[in-house]
Amino acid sequence: MASEKFEKPTGTQDILPGAVEKWQFIEEKARDLCRRYNYREIRTPIFEQTELFERGVGETTDIVEKEMYTFKDKGDRSMTLRPEGTAGVVRAYVQNKLYGEPDVTKLFYMGPMFRYERPQAGRYRQFHQFGVEVFGTTDPAIDAEVIALGYSFYKELGLSGVKAEINSVGTPEVRAAYRSTLLAFLEPMRDNLCSDCQSRMERNPLRVLDCKKDQEKFVNAPSILDSLDEECSTHFDKVKGYLDAMGIEYEINPRLVRGLDYYTHTAFEFKAQGIGAIDTVGGGGRFNGLVDQIGGPEQPGIGFGIGLERIQLILEHQGINLTSAKPLDVYLVALGEAAEQKLTKLIYELRSHGVAADRDYLGRKMKAQMKSADRLHARYTAILGDDELERGEIALKSMETGEQRTVKLDSLVQEFVKTSH
């Protein structure tokens, strides 16, 4: 017999019971926020045609250049595990003609993303994002709403020190003008820049500002904000005004770019203080050219993607313990075979009525079963012996107070439906 041991792929995680409750809490928070902000969930495939990401994420990004999980399927088509959420959502928006709806389309998604990266704390090859996308309006109030939603998410999870950094990347015309100003700044340092930067200087100089290695060299780079035209400045001013009105903490970072042609106006990132190098916990921006780029009509859009592993990282860092597992309502103990028969039926009824109930399956003695009930933080144990069975009763013990009483078998379900929440 082969006795090979398997290990999870590098850069992935098993989320075990005990930790998964934190995930559920975070996911529920995201869903609840989206309900309050009136964003509806969309679920798109985990893999898409490779070309969608090449066009939808951009050929000069780290993601497309180095990080995609791309494979040929058996029909010889190039497929890619989604590295981010926006491209798929835009594809679905176009394919399902959601732009035909009379209202602004406000969507959210949550799920795993895949990037071939060097794993470290807060950086995985399979990770999870919560994201939103809004289509169909250029109103700066929606830019502020999207930022407010992301900001509230961190706030309501109890994280402190998370700030929004915002910038305007203008329109393609504004960027064309800024491009030459920026190139004039970069040209003298060309030889000192990394090879990625050098090649991006040719293809997409704005992306250079996004380089992790050369960051500190760009402190004195010209600000794109100085190149904004009237329309772009007005839009940016309005966004800031709305953020001020809501009391959202933000900073302006003129070097924050999402250097793709279809990104327009507002770009932003959420930064957490004091968690080390990996301090960007989410990011987003307006993409007025993307729907068109992906073969749809000209419809403006804006959204963000927030990494959930990084939230876990800050939670841990800040010593925040999100709610743990919900306790069991009742642990049932049967003494004797006839009692066990009855217990099987009872436990089924309890569960059918929404009560969280469990029992022993290891043939253990009563004492060991009571220990189990303790470990599971059961609120009650219900003990059914032959005597009780004969009288049509069951002994109910509160694990909290130790108080014990007898209830009719017929009314046990009722007892819990009344007391469980």
Check if the beta carbon of residue 394 is closer than 8 Å to that of residue 409: yes
Only segment of 47-55, 95-103, 133-141, 305-313 that touches ligand ATP (CB under 6 A) = 305-313
Q: How far is the CB of 120 from ligand ATP (least distance, A)?
A: 9
Q: Which of residues 120-149 bind ligand ATP (CB under 6 A)?
A: 122-124, 127, 129
According to the binding rule CB under 6 A, does residue 282 interact with ligand ATP?
yes
Packing angle of the helix pair 195-203, 172-186 (nearest 10 deg) = 140
* Residue 133 labelled as part of a binding site: yes
According to the binding rule CB under 6 A, does residue 167 interact with ligand ATP?
no
Distance CA 399, CA 135 (A): 53
Q: How far is the CB of 307 from ligand ATP (least distance, A)?
A: 2
Nearest Cα residue to 14 out of 157, 124, 130: 124
* Residue 49 labelled as part of a binding site: no
Residue 190 in tokens: 């060309």
Closest to ligand ATP by CB, 309 or 329:
309
* Residue 263 labelled as part of a binding site: yes
Report strand pairing: 162-168 vs 250-252.
parallel
Q: How far is the CB of 359 from ligand ATP (least distance, A)?
A: 40
* Residue 86 labelled as part of a binding site: yes
List, in sequence order, every residue forming a beta bridge with 334; answer none if it has no partner.
Answer: 384
Closest to ligand ATP by CB, 262 or 380:
262
According to the binding rule CB under 6 A, does residue 256 interact with ligand ATP?
no
Check if the beta carbon of residue 23 is closer than 8 Å to that of residue 137: no
Residue 111 in tokens: 């799920």
According to the binding rule CB under 6 A, does residue 360 interact with ligand ATP?
no
Size of the site for ligand ATP (CB under 6 A): 17
Q: Which of residues 169-208 bind ligand ATP (CB under 6 A)?
A: none
Q: How far is the CB of 122 from ligand ATP (least distance, A)?
A: 6
* Residue 351 labelled as part of a binding site: no
DSSP 384-402: E-HHHHHHTEEEEEETTT-
| Among 52, 144, 232, 281, interactor with ligand ATP by CB under 6 A | 281
According to the binding rule CB under 6 A, does residue 301 interact with ligand ATP?
no
Q: How far is the CB of 270 from ligand ATP (least distance, A)?
A: 7
Closest to ligand ATP by CB, 57 or 186:
57
Check if the beta carbon of residue 33 is closer than 8 Å to that of residue 149: yes
Q: Which amino acid is at 22?
A: K
Check if the beta carbon of residue 325 is closer than 8 Å to that of residue 25: no
Q: Which of residues 101-120 bind ligand ATP (CB under 6 A)?
A: 115, 117
Sign of CA dihedral 10, 16, 22, 23: positive
Helical ranges in 38-76 per DSSP H = 50-57, 62
According to the binding rule CB under 6 A, does residue 82 interact with ligand ATP?
no
* Residue 178 labelled as part of a binding site: no
Q: Which residue is nearest to ligand ATP (CB)?
A: 307
List, in sequence order, every residue forming a beta bridge with 112; answer none if it has no partner.
Answer: 128
3-state SS, one letter per residue, for 153-190: HHHHCCCCCEEEEEEECCCHHHHHHHHHHHHHHHHHHH
The residue assigned the tokens 């960051």 is: 215
Closest to ligand ATP by CB, 309 or 360:
309
* Residue 37 labelled as part of a binding site: no
Given the rule CB under 6 A, which residues bind ligand ATP?
Answer: 84, 115, 117, 122-124, 127, 129, 278, 280-283, 305, 307, 309-310
